[in-house]
Every structure is written in structure tokens, then in C-alpha cells.
Amino acid sequence: QHKSDNEIMKLLNESKKLQKQKELALQQELQQLKESYSQNVLDTCSRIIFEIADKYQLDISLSKSAIQKLTQYNWSTDKLEKLIENAVTIAMAGNMDQNTKIEIQDVDIITESINKKHKTTIEHSDKILRTKVFLDRYEQAALMAIRDELPLTGNNIGKYCSPPVSPAAISDSLKNHRKTIIHLLQENPNQWKTIRSKFRPVKNILASTADKKKAS
């Protein structure tokens, strides 16, 4: 009987040991799955950030807190894209120096429904971002036209844009973004020097602003 009890205890101990091993293996498997998922999320985030950075000519990175927040939940790719796009525009809104280097913080990532205030901020910052993009494009095109000894007309500016745009498209952009252009030109006096001084449509925008100030 004593021997039988010892055998039973031995079996129980082995069973407990085996159970612990199974639990440990399961925990390791779950951890590996979690790490694998986190890596997949980070890979997706990196791709999205690269595309946005390339599109707007920005240097975008994620802070540690932002990474933790993004890898915390099971986001779809579409949701991740929306979260990061919104985070970039929110971060841009707080970028008072108009710096092209942006680090997304966890507070920039709004996981709940975007309220009206945040939505307004995002829309405003997005417009600034888009305006900066085409001002940079026109400035680069103007420099290329000058290099080739061509006058700075809408046709020549459009021809040197990448991709090329029509003079009408340039006029529409300047008209639709007039207020944002004025804001950017006033806030960044050392940027877009060529088009602000030599491209007539932009010069006219600045001149009309100066006239309004004098009149008031």
C-alpha cells in the first residue's frame, strides 16, 4: 500500500509538472503570437508612415508611447491607416515651427470617435499640409524654369511640376487655398522665395493682402 501511495504521489507530481510545462508552452506560444502580431502592426505602420512621409516630404516617426498604443489592439489595416493619417495631421497642428520632422505621440492617436474639435483641427492641419506640398512643388518648378532661362508663367511652372499640371489647375489651387497660402507665406518668410518674388499669381496674393492692411 505504501509503495502504491508513493507511485500515486509520483504520478500526481509528474502530472502537475506536465501541466505546468503545458501552461508554460501555451504562454510562450501566446507571447510569440502577440509579438508576431505587434511586429505585423509595426510593419504595417512603417509602410503607411513611409507613404505619407514620401507624399508630403516629411520625416515622420513614432514615439515609444505611440507604438505601445498602436500595438495594444487588433486594428484592421484600414483603421491603422486612418489612425496614423489623423495622428500626422494632429501632430502637424502642434508643430508651430512648421518643421518637417514630426514624432507622433500617443496623444496624437485618437482611437475613439473623433469629436468635432479634433475633426476641425485635423481638417485645418491637413489643408496646411496640402498647401505646403504644392507651394514646394511650384517653388521647385520655378527654380527649374529659371535654370532653363524660361519666364515664370503658369504654363512653364506647370510643365516643370511632377506630375505636370495645367495653368488652370495652378490658378484653382492658389484660389482655393488663398488664406492658407497667405498664412504660410507670412509665417515662413524664408521659404518659397522664388515664387513669392517672381511668380505673378503669388505676388498678387501678397500684394492684395498688403493693400487690405493699408486700407484698414
pLDDT of the residue at 122? 45
Is the pLDDT at 64 greater than 50, yes or no?
yes
Q: Is 108 in contact with 90 (CB distance < 8 Å)? A: yes
What mean pLDDT is predicted for residues 67-90?
A: 82
Q: Is 43 in contact with 75 (CB distance < 8 Å)? A: no
pLDDT of the residue at 42? 82
- Output the CA angle 30-33-35, nearest 5 degrees: 110
CA distances, 35 to each of 28, 29, 42, 83 (Å): 10, 10, 10, 21
pLDDT of the residue at 201? 94
pLDDT tens profile 117-166: 444 554 556 677 778 888 888 998 999 999 999 999 999 999 998 788 89
Computed over every residue of the chain, the mean pLDDT equals 79
Task: Out of 54-58, 89-93, 120-124, pick the least confident.
Answer: 120-124
C-alpha span between 77 and 66 (Å, rounded): 16
CATH no. of 2-108: 1.10.8.60
Which backbone phi and psi does 207 adopt, to 5 degrees? Answer: -65, -45
Q: Label residue 89 by pLDDT band (50, 70, 90).
A: confident
The whole-angstrom distance between residue 93's C-alpha and the CA centroid of its chain comes to 11
Q: Which residues contact 201 (CB under 8 A, 6 or more apart)?
A: 154, 170, 171, 174
pLDDT of the residue at 29? 61
Q: Label residue 108 by pLDDT band (50, 70, 90).
A: confident
Q: Domain residue spans in the chain?
A: 2-108, 116-215
pLDDT tens profile 28-42: 665 565 565 567 778
Q: What percent of the chain has pLDDT over 90?
A: 21
pLDDT of the residue at 125? 61
Ramachandran area for residue 74 (φ above 0: left; ψ -120 to 50: alpha; else beta): beta
What mean pLDDT is predicted for residues 50-70?
A: 85
DSSP sequence for 67-112: HHHHTSS---HHHHHHHHHHHHHHHHHT-TT--SEEEE-GGG---S
Q: Is 167 in contact with 156 (CB distance < 8 Å)? A: no
Task: Out of 61-65, 71-75, 100-104, 111-115, pick the least confident.
Answer: 111-115
What mean pLDDT is predicted for residues 71-100?
A: 76
